[in-house]
Amino acid sequence: FGSKRGFWRIHDIFQKYKIPLTIFGVGMALERNLEICNAIKKANYEIASHGWRWIDYQYISKSKEKKDMNKAIKAIKKIFGNKPLGWYTGRCSPNTLDLVMENGNFIYCSDTYSDDIPYWEKRGNKKQLMIPYSLDNNDMKFATNQGFNNGDQFYNYLKDSFDALYEEGKKYPKMMSVGLHCRLVGRPGRIQSLKKFLNYVLKHDDVWICKRIDIAKHWIKNYSDI
């Protein structure tokens, strides 16, 4: 459902609102959905790598994880013409961040949930920009126990998160990540909640809706020493 219908429903909304997206693309899935890849290119969305396959790397060897990382990078470069600048495994291992930093080509990594703003992870003489992802402002909770039962719950949670961060933002900047999945929020009974939230956000001043790579470049330019 996600690739057949959900993507197009979400894509239509973001094109209508002229809002950019960062897409975490799984390499194998991208190779199997070239029509979607063409739409992504035309829309100028950012493609960040979401690995080669959606598997849990917790107990997978570092060499196997590195091999899959390279396959994911190769797939995106082949389809989109450039290597991905962002990385997010999702179900990472103790080796994931080391591999990201060893690769050296990623401007940012999103395998973290530990802050409201980007930060630098330092290891030895290397540092990696981390742009946190969100598991609570995320439609994945439609598919979990004690998660969202309907679109109103999703909308209200996103609205409350936005309101809290917007209020705090009067003193210092904040970042809000919203995780969307084609197979989840792309359902007819849930998509209205996304529309409502976008309409709500767009009524506010001093809000920047952008790709993650834009956040990364902004952070590097202004806060490279933090």
Q: pTM score, two decimals?
A: 0.94
pLDDT at site 226: 65
- CA 30/CA 75 separation, integer angstroms: 8
**Model pLDDT for residues 42-96, shown as the tens digit of each residue:** 999 999 999 999 999 999 999 999 999 999 999 999 999 999 999 999 999 999 9
